[in-house]
Structures are given as C-alpha cells and as structure tokens.
C-alpha cells in the first residue's frame, strides 16, 4: 500500500511507519506529538516526506502525514508542532487552518522563494530536536480577520464569508478590467476613495508579497499594523498607508466589474457586487512560525529579495 492512495484513518499515517515502532506506542514513550503536512502537487514533496518517515517517527509521536488540503486529523490541537513541506503558499494555507489551535509551524522549503518556509531538509534534521525541546521558540505573526457581507438587496445583511488571512486581502478589478471605486473607512473615519484597479490590505508578514509588488512598504513581521496599498490608482496623490489594526477597516465596493473579486492570501476568491462591504481587522489568533536559528529578518530580505543590492554589482 502506498501512502498516496491510502485513506486517512484516525490517529494513523497516510503511509505506515517503521513496523518495529508502532505509532500507538509513541505517546506512552513520552514523545512530543507533531503533524506533517505537504503540498503533494509540488515535485519531490511526496518523495521527501516518504524518505523522512522513519526519522520523524524516531523524533516524535506523529499524528498524521498528509496533504495540506486534507481535513486535520483528530488530536491536531494536541500537536506541539506542524512541519509543512512546500512553499510559502503552503505555509500560509496551513497557518489559516492551524491558527485557531495555536500550533506552531515549521516550513520546509520545497518551492521557489522560501521566504516564510525558511528551513531546508538539512536544517530540519539539524534543529528539530531543539524546536521540540523548546530551545527554539516560534514567533507570533499577526493575522487578519475578514468578514464579507452579502450584497444589498433591500433585505437584512448577512455574513457570506468569515475567516482569517495570513498575508493579505486583495480586491482586484477583474474582467472587463475597467477601473473600480472603493470607499475605505477606518472605524467611523473616512480614509479615502480608491479609484483604480483595486487595493491590497496586508499584515506585516504579507508586506513582502503583493503589497511590495504594488509599491507598498516592508514592515517588520513583529509589528502590529496593517498596510493599505492602492493598485494603479487614478491619481498622483494616493499612496500606501500604515494604520493600526484597530478599529476595523471597512471597504465598500461602490463601483465594480463583473469579474471583481476579493482574494485572501492569493488563494481564496470571492465575487464582489456593488454596495458590498468587506470588514478587515486584527484576528484574535496569530500565526506562529518557527524561525531558522542564526538568521535574522534583514538577512532574509537580502538573501531572498536581494534587498539593498546594487544593480551594478553581482
């Protein structure tokens, strides 16, 4: 039986561990519990997870090894750590799912950039014991709470979506790509009218994503703040702003296109209609990410994004 096509059983693996040390004995042996998630669509992820199964079983009581899109197994709330194999997008997805359980995430980069998923497989093998022993503490990353209200149709408004975002909330003009009109309030104070191709509201963690691409500022991930960055605004005076995450931000779609959408973390799209409101605030939960020891944020900026590198030198 291969783990790719095996069913998920309660407190069992998608593929079996070393038969000499059955998983049901691990808790009795006092090992910390961990959860292993992976993006099985990425080349090499399944094979890498398979090759590490025996070693992982020696380190911890593994609750499950499964695709990051699968339903979390029973007992996930008792995991001391979740190891995520994939890229930054995989880590963001796991962050939304596990934040309410307060389970720390350790990202093993199997993608391209690896800005959040900092660990290599060698790093994982070198530092996992230290993480499980509490010598390497996770960092708290602010998340957004996003509420989308129903389209106004002369009836009481209803919540059509509510959930967390790890990186950002983007509103994109969409087909047929005419400019859209968004009205933004911070609490009861009117911020501005955003007339252009949309806007991005991000966390400090998400400031190096879509926000940075549209000219927004980079924030240290430990900050408690949000950034509003317009996308191609039809004015020279509208620039990105850094605001407190409270009170709640209200974005009302005054004019939209047929294809206008709200998109969470670049992964969860929702169609917007005229008059619809999105509420964005600080979530009650945080994403907890284990940092790679001896690496600091500015090193990561330099190594991954070539921060401060002269265009005239290699």
- The span from the CA of 138 to the CA of 76, in Å, is 18
Q: Provide the sign of the torsion angle of the four alpha carbons 242, 192, 184, 266, taken in this order.
A: negative
Token code pair at residue 169: 């909330």
Judge whether 188 counts as a catalytic residue: no
From 18, 61, 74, 88, the catalytic residue = 88
Look up tokens 């990105």; give the residue: 240
Look up tokens 């944020």; give the residue: 297
Q: For residue 218, what are the contacts with CB-CB under 8 A and spacing of at least 6?
A: 207, 208, 212, 301
Burial group, residue 32, by CB count within 10 angstroms (0-12, 13-18, 19+): middle
User: Which DSSP string corresponds to 109-162?
Assistant: E-SS--SS--B-HHHHHHHHHHHHTTSSPPEEEEEEEEEEEPPPSSS---EEEE
Q: How far is CA 114 from the centre of its chain?
A: 13
Give how far Cα 267 sits from Cα of 88, 123, 125, 214, Å.
12, 28, 30, 18
Active site members:
88
């Amino acid at each position: 039986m291969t783990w790719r096509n095996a069913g998920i059983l309660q407190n069992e693996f998608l593929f079996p561990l070393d038969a000499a040390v059955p998983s049901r004995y691990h808790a009795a042996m006092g090992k910390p519990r961990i959860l292993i998630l992976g993006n099985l669509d990425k080349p090499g992820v399944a094979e890498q997870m398979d090759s590490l199964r025996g070693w992982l079983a020696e380190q911890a009581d593994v609750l499950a090894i499964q695709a990051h899109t699968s339903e979390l197994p029973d007992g996930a709330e008792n995991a001391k750590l979740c190891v995520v194999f994939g890229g930054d997008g995989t880590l963001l997805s796991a962050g939304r799912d596990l934040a309410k359980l307060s389970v720390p995430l350790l990202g093993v980069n199997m993608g391209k950039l690896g800005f959040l998923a900092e660990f290599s497989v060698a790093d994982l093998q070198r530092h996992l014991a230290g993480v499980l022993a509490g010598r390497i503490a996770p960092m708290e990353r602010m998340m957004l709470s996003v509420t989308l209200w129903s389209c106004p149709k002369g009836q009481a408004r209803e919540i059509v979506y509510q959930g967390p975002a790890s990186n950002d909330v983007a509103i994109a003009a969409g087909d047929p790509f005419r400019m859209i009109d968004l009205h933004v309030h911070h609490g009861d104070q009117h911020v501005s009218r955003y007339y252009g191709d949309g806007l991005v509201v991000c966390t400090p963690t998400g400031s190096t994503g879509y926000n940075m691409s549209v000219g927004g500022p980079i924030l240290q991930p430990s900050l408690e703040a949000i950034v509003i960055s317009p996308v191609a605004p039809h004015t020279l005076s509208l620039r990105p702003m850094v605001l407190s995450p409270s009170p709640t931000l209200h974005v009302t779609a005054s004019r939209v296109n047929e294809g206008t959408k709200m998109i969470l973390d670049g992964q969860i799209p929702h169609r917007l209609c005229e008059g619809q409101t999105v509420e964005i605030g600080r979530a009650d939960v945080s994403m907890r990410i284990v940092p790679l020891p001896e690496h600091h944020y500015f090193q990561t900026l330099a190594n991954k994004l070539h921060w401060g590198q002269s265009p005239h030198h290699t």
